[in-house]
Amino acid sequence: MAIIIGIDPGSRMTGYGIIHQKGDTLRYLDAGTIRTDTKEMPERLKRIFNGITRITQYHQKYSDEPIHAAVEQVFMAENPDSALKLGQARGAAIAALVALDLEVSEYTARQIKQAVCGYGAADKVQVQEMVCRILKLDVTPQQDAADGLACAICHAHSSHSMNKLLMNTTLRGRGSSKKKGRWRLTEEDLAGLK
């Protein structure tokens, strides 16, 4: 069980989505945008940092479950100035998460769309629709918030796959024995899983 915070960084609007993962089940907790309605870039970065900090601290305060964070990676935009601003916004979000001692995973936009839509070149409307289906939402979140939720869903799928891989490795690893074509855990394996 874990809480996953997904961040879609932007210099004017940073989307976030928070979900709860329990095994294969994903449940919506929160989503929204941090708006930075100002011309000055340092002030925008401060608002992103403070917004991410406030949201994360709220969930840390009211949950005993571990919190994981996922952030969309910067793509190379045609406009270098836009790419630089996006990178700074992303840095402010990552700094806020790391300052709260969270480990941050990073995913490309293609990885996120592939995990949510099954197609790495899906558009924003497709991402919104699939986020609603996966999380069983009655109301469609704003695009940046949906992108934050999609990032969290991508991390959930990725971490769940890694857990299955680790479990299979443990089952076939040291101390396991094969009897009649089946793997069985030894007491040592079971102790290692606790």
Q: How many folded domains does the chain comprise? A: 1
Q: Indicate whether 176 belongs to any domain.
A: no
Q: Indicate whether 177 belongs to any domain.
A: no
Q: Which residues are annotated binding-site positions?
A: 8, 72, 144
Residue tagged active-site, from 30, 40, 43, 72: 72
Q: Indicate whether 189 belongs to any domain.
A: no
- pLDDT of residue 60 exceeding 80, the answer is yes
Spell out the residues 6+ positions from residue 69 whose beta carbon is closer than 8 angstroms to its own.
4, 5, 6, 7, 56, 97, 102, 103, 104, 105
Q: What is the mean pLDDT of residues 6-34?
A: 95
**Side-chain half-sphere of 58: how many Cα atoms within 13 Å?**
10
Q: Indicate whether 130 belongs to any domain.
A: yes
- For residue 103, indicate whether it is catalytic: no
Residue tagged active-site, from 65, 106, 144, 188: 144
Q: Indicate whether 112 belongs to any domain.
A: yes
Q: What is the mean pLDDT of residues 29-38?
A: 94
Q: What stretch of H or E contains 67?
A: strand 67-72
Domain that holds residue 136: 2-171
Q: What stretch of H or E contains 62?
A: none
pTM: 0.81
Q: What is the mean pLDDT of residues 73-87?
A: 82
- For residue 72, indicate whether it is catalytic: yes
Q: Indicate whether 64 belongs to any domain.
A: yes
pLDDT tens digits for range 135-145: 999 999 999 99
Q: Indicate whether 190 belongs to any domain.
A: no
Q: Which residues are annotated binding-site positions for Mg(2+)?
A: 8, 72, 144
Q: Indicate whether 28 belongs to any domain.
A: yes
* Paired tokens of 9: 């960084």
CATH code of residue 82: 3.30.420.10
Separation between Cα atoms, residue 100 and residue 54, nearest integer Å: 10
pLDDT band at 63 (very low <50, low <70, confident <90, very high): confident
